[in-house]
Structure 1
Amino acid sequence: MQVIPVLDLLDGHVVRAVRGERTAYRPIQSRLAAASEPLTIARALLAASGARTLYIADLGAILQRGAHASTLAALRAALPGIDLWLDAGYTDYASMLELFNHIDAIDQRNGDTAQHKLATLVPVFGTESLRDRHALHSAETAGLAPILSLDHRAGQLLTAVELERTSAWWPSRVIAMTLDQVGSYAGPDLTTFERIRASAAAHTTVIGAGGVRNRADMTAAASTGATAWLVASALHDRQIGAMQAESL
């Protein structure tokens, strides 16, 4: 099972997420690096996991306090060959495109214009923010391979507006996001993951998120059919690493 490291950005720092209680998030204290500077932590997470994908939650944008556009542009320029899955609280396709264009403009101003040398930005649309489900189709049409995050708390789907409850509109990749489990060291929510996987179309890849503490949790998650899981705290605390991930 692939481990996808998670970078949570808030007020210019990487923060440690705990149960989705964002007002309580504090700058990360990690065994991987001494500081909470985004690029340093991003490189440490990628090295620790052996991943070529980095999930970024721009909590400033999600909380409507402003996106970390300059930080995101710097990460994109400094991490060639990496896929950056970016959840920035998009409400629709236009808001996603506005941020992506802003990041492009910053890269161009900084002289980072060789697109093949930049990390690939992949939009993640979270149901807690999404107001127009057609945004996913628009992003697919634009060739952006969007991901849908089905955001849950207390077993309930979090939505900004009423969304169609069937999986007919889901893209080819979906995240089973259980905010209660994030940073909780309470174990992964396999029940929610399995329910979502059972309702997904055959061609849909479902990715888990939250709660993984150690190798045993990774093995349990892999046994449900998960091919990837979003992980942060267990990497920062050196409870799992690249060799363990590769052996599953």
Structure 2
Amino acid sequence: MDVIPVIDVAHGQVVRAMKGQRSGYRPIETPLAGSSEPADVARGLARLFPFHKIYLADLDGIEGRGRNTHIVPALSQVLGRVEIWIDAGTGSRGAARAILAAPVATLVVGTESIETVRNWEDISAEAPARTVLSLDFKNGEFIGPEAMLADSSLWPSRVVVMTLDRVGANEGPDIRRLESIVARAKGRRIYAAGGVRDRGDLDDIKKIGVAGALVASALHSGKISAGDLLEVAGR
């Protein structure tokens, strides 16, 4: 099972995400790093465990303030060849091409950032094998073109189920929704995002066929330990 640490960046600093209420996000304070600088936090995560992937949510890009283009080179310098999944609010093929120019980059396209199915098809055609779809939910509602949720044939080989209102909320993952998506996935790898609190949650979503999880708060709090990560990665 993949456990992918998440770095949420706003105004150039790593922030603690909470229930998708982005206006209230504040710079992170974590025992893993001495500051909220993205490279410092990435270095702390690398000391915790040799992750193969890391997830960068560029909230400035997602909210239309402009991408933090300096962060990927800074993270690469710290992390080496670790694969960086990047969600920067990509809404066009040109923007996708700019992100994919970094050899370590995998593009994440959130349904909250696309307007139509045609828009998604155009973006994903740039590099299908390096593109992940994020199905975005908040307060029980799907965010994005309804066809993106209804028609699983549109999904690529890797799909994130992003439950924004559970991020950092200590409420546990949305098992019912994850089960529904896994049942329709037809062999695609499904990743849970939002609500994973501890090793028990990882075990629970593994049982229903989830391939991996995006995690932040549980790593910084120590509720998921290096030992847990080692055992989970070995299964």
Give the TM-score taking structure 2 as reference length.
0.91
Partner of 1:221: 205
Deviation at 1:123, TM superposition (A): 0.2
**Does 1:27 pair with 2:12?**
no
Paired with 2:122 and 2:75, the residues of 1 have a C-alpha distance of 25
Q: CA RMSD in A?
A: 1.7
Partner of 1:182: 167
**Does 1:126 pair with 2:71?**
no
Paired with 1:193 and 1:46, the residues of 2 have a C-alpha distance of 28
Q: How many residues align?
A: 228
Deviation at 1:157, TM superposition (A): 1.3
- Please give the secondary structure, in 2, of the residue aligned with 1:134: helix
Partner of 1:145: 130
- Please give the secondary structure, in 2, of the residue aligned with 1:157: strand
Deviation at 1:162, TM superposition (A): 5.0
Q: Deviations over 1:169-203 (max 9, x none)?
A: 1110000110011111111111111111111122x
Please list every run of 5 or more consecutive structure 2 residues that lacks an aligned counterpart in the other structure.
Answer: none
**Does 1:235 pair with 2:219?**
yes
- Please give the secondary structure, in 2, of the residue aligned with 1:211: coil
Deviation at 1:233, TM superposition (A): 0.3
Paired with 1:46 and 1:191, the residues of 2 have a C-alpha distance of 32
Deviation at 1:49, TM superposition (A): 3.9
Partner of 1:94: 94
Paired with 2:208 and 2:86, the residues of 1 have a C-alpha distance of 26
Kindly indicate whether the alpha-carbon contact (under 8 Å) linking 1:46 and 1:52 is maintained by their aligned counterparts in 2: no
Paired with 1:158 and 1:226, the residues of 2 have a C-alpha distance of 21
Paired with 2:50 and 2:166, the residues of 1 have a C-alpha distance of 23
Q: More displaced, 89-98 or 69-78? A: 69-78
Deviation at 1:46, TM superposition (A): 3.0
Deviation at 1:48, TM superposition (A): 2.1
Q: Deviations over 1:194-225 (max 9, x none)?
A: 111111122x1111111111122121121111
Please list every run of 5 or more consecutive structure 1 residues that lacks an aligned counterpart in the other structure.
Answer: 105-114
Deviation at 1:154, TM superposition (A): 2.0
Partner of 1:198: 183
- Inter-CA distance 240–208: structure 2 relative to 1 (3 Å threshold): same
Identity of aligned residues (%): 38
State the AA in 2 paired with 1:134. Answer: E
Paired with 1:24 and 1:122, the residues of 2 have a C-alpha distance of 28
- Please give the secondary structure, in 1, of the residue aligned with 2:30: coil
Paired with 1:41 and 1:4, the residues of 2 have a C-alpha distance of 14
- Please give the secondary structure, in 2, of the residue aligned with 1:89: coil
Deviation at 1:20, TM superposition (A): 0.6
- Please give the secondary structure, in 1, of the residue aligned with 2:210: coil
